[in-house]
Structure 1
Amino acid sequence: MTDALGEALHLLRMSGTFYCRNELTEPWGATMPDMADCLWFHVLTSGRCDVEVDGQVISLEPGDVLLVPGGQRHRLFYGEAESPVVTTLPHEFETDNYAILRHGGGGPVTHLVCGAVRFDHPAAKHLINVLPNVLYVRRADDMRATIDLMAAEAQAVRPGGEAVITRLADVLVIQTIRSWLANDPAARTGWLGALQDQQIGQALALIHRDPAQPWTVERLAHQTAMSRSAFAARFTELVGEPAMRYVTRWRMHVAMNRLKDRDSTVSEVARGLGYESEAAFSRAFKRIVGVSPGQARAG
């Protein structure tokens, strides 16, 4: 049986934009800026922290993990304090993307690990885009060992601390998403639900693995041992759009990613996605994305 959802999780490879180990003394506050195309994560390893996002305030306890998949602006605080944008506060940079922040009013200490990460693969980006605006998991048994390791690293600066914390953070992000997928009914609807359907999930996995194939409804139906009409109806019902429209849109997701590679020409991207001519690819790209491939690359 094809595990299309498992394949999508496998592609959640992150490139860290910013990791920060925080030592915060009450009262304290900091605003996380809007980070387009990024996911913010916060892991409270000790102390107390409130998070205000989208008008909702969530109180974290040690061992809790909170994700902001859309990367939107939000505020972390405890007690009555100003909340300057975190990028304006003085950091001790260990490397270009790893820093230590010490901030606050001198009271009890909170240790918090935060970061903003990006995902490059189109399947990973699509998965992140369908997550809720805030994803919050109380300390779970299957995440406890990872969090305990992170808490130990967050207490003191030690050789290799950056490597340990950044890798543990990446693992925790995936564990948190997996926990939400396993426990929230919303994860069993729409595109996520389709990935977990035995037959439509198999079709999606085939498209994701090799978008350049000359897919047709008939071919996908055959691969999933369904009749053409039954496959077409079920695909549209679960995914929310017809199969061939999804194939084209998925190819454009992949194209957007490949156009970032300045070593690949538009013609090469077109051929790599199964288009016989650059003109045909460009027409499809503009119809789906709204701009030409050249404009997308320049932007």
Structure 2
Amino acid sequence: MPPPSQPPWTPSDAVGEALHVLRMSGAFYCRSELTAPWGATMPAMPGCLWFHVVTEGRCLLEVGDDLLELGPGDIVLIPPGGGHVMRSEPDVSAPSVLAIAHELSGDNYALLRYGGGGAQTVLVCGAVKFAHPAARTLVGLLPELIHIPVSPLSGRLQDTVRLIAAEAEEMRPGGEAVLTRLADVLVIQAIRAWLETAPRTGWIGALADPQIGRALAQLHRDPAKDWTVASLAAEAAMSRSAFAARFTEIVGESAMAYVTRWRMNLALDRLGEGATVARIAAELGYRSEAAFSRAFTRVVGEPPSAARRRAA
């Protein structure tokens, strides 16, 4: 039986389902009003995705060896949550953003006003986390830097950017909640825009494959079912042998190895939520706690009790 938090409906394709579970929790959101010269170093946020939206002015972004000039409407995602630097111009000192005075407005929203009094740049920034294993897998496959500039093809994204800019400027009562929800929508839109042009290889290619993707969607929807290569092949409308060969070719592991790994990813989440081993075993289709624990230890490398202690 699925965990109580599972939604009562799901999209019909695996890519849509992966996007559907991109529900996120904000670790940090910030509206920054910056005047030249200014610089700030964003710390690494493991397990998070950084995003930046320029609503006014220009700035430079340094991520590793990459240097980008950003202007109004530009959107940047840094999926690994890696540290990076933003400046008004080259060679400006960039202290840690954590060391710059800011005004808190809510538990995870801040207003930052900083700089030397020159030309203004306004940013809406944040770091978000993803809970569902499908979402984390998808985000883990994104490149280290995604830059979506203003273009005729980014119309829907720009509609959201304009809403964010207007809400951030006015900041009416409840504005923090509206702004953070809009930022979440923007992140999903940006990931979808990247997926539309991404190489269709590996897990992303499997999701997009008309036959393998259909089988993956059913597995993700009902992980407790007694899945076999034959039943997955039936979902894909393929022969058992053709399905097994194509699945391994696209995904890089056998279908049943993927089934087990997917279940263990779900189990890790449920352990972190405090669910009992017996409940998790039942939710994932195992006939006994012992069978589940053996599979978990084989895949994860430690027993459920140890994983629970680490997640606590």
Q: Which of the five TM-score ranges fits, normalised by the shorter chain?
A: over 0.9
Aligned-residue CA RMSD (Å) = 1.3
Partner of 1:150: 164
1:12 aligned residue (8, 22, 25)? 22
Q: Aligned runs of 1:173-252 on 2, under 5 Å?
A: 173-184=187-198, 186=199, 188-252=200-264
1:261 aligned residue (273, 280, 301)? 273
Q: Does the residue aligned with 1:100 lie in a helix, a strand or coil?
A: strand
The alpha carbon displacement at 1:157 in A equals: 3.5
Q: Mind listing any 5+ residue stretches in structure 2 that lack a counterpart?
A: 1-10
- 1:214-239 CA-to-partner distances (Å, cap 9, x unmatched) read 10001111222211100000111111
Count of residue correspondences: 296
Q: Would the aligned equivalents of 1:2 and 1:198 in 2 still touch at CA under 8 Å?
A: no
Q: Mind listing any 5+ residue stretches in structure 1 that lack a counterpart?
A: none
- Is 1:289–2:300 an aligned residue pair? yes
- Is 1:110–2:124 an aligned residue pair? no
Partner of 1:129: 140
The alpha carbon displacement at 1:159 in A equals: 2.3
- Tell me the distance in 2 between the aligned counterparts of 1:224 and 1:73: 42
Determine what percentage of the aligned residue pairs are the same residue.
59
Q: Would the aligned equivalents of 1:2 and 1:201 in 2 still touch at CA under 8 Å?
A: no
Comparing 139-148 and 243-252, the one that deviates more: 139-148
Amino acid at match of 1:234: R
The TM-score with structure 2 as length reference comes to: 0.92
Comparing 81-90 and 154-163, the one that deviates more: 154-163
Q: Does the residue aligned with 1:198 lie in a helix, a strand or coil?
A: coil
Partner of 1:159: 173
- Tell me the distance in 1 between the aligned counterparts of 2:105 and 2:249: 50
Partner of 1:83: 94
Q: Would the aligned equivalents of 1:39 and 1:68 in 2 still touch at CA under 8 Å?
A: yes
- Tell me the distance in 2 between the aligned counterparts of 1:2 and 1:146: 26
- Is 1:275–2:289 an aligned residue pair? no
Amino acid at match of 2:286: Y
Amino acid at match of 1:87: L
The alpha carbon displacement at 1:241 in A equals: 0.6
1:73 aligned residue (83, 94, 108)? 83
Amino acid at match of 1:247: V
Partner of 1:35: 45
- 1:54-98 CA-to-partner distances (Å, cap 9, x unmatched) read 221111111011001111111111123221111221110010101
- Tell me the distance in 2 between the aligned counterparts of 1:49 and 1:154: 19
Q: Which runs of 4+ in 1 moved over 6 A?
A: none
CA gap of 1:272–1:124, structure 2 versus 1, over 3 A, is same
Q: Does the residue aligned with 1:15 lie in a helix, a strand or coil?
A: strand
- 1:112-134 CA-to-partner distances (Å, cap 9, x unmatched) read 00001111111111111111111
The alpha carbon displacement at 1:154 in A equals: 2.7
Amino acid at match of 1:98: Y
Amino acid at match of 2:183: A
- 1:28-72 CA-to-partner distances (Å, cap 9, x unmatched) read 111111111111100000111111112211111110110011111
Q: Would the aligned equivalents of 1:122 and 1:253 in 2 still touch at CA under 8 Å?
A: yes
Partner of 1:93: 104
Amino acid at match of 1:203: A
- Is 1:141–2:155 an aligned residue pair? yes
Amino acid at match of 2:168: A
- Tell me the distance in 2 between the aligned counterparts of 1:101 and 1:47: 16
Q: Would the aligned equivalents of 1:111 and 1:155 in 2 still touch at CA under 8 Å?
A: no
- Tell me the distance in 2 between the aligned counterparts of 1:289 and 1:135: 31
- 1:192-222 CA-to-partner distances (Å, cap 9, x unmatched) read 0110111100111111111111100011112
Comparing 251-260 and 160-169, the one that deviates more: 160-169
Amino acid at match of 1:180: W
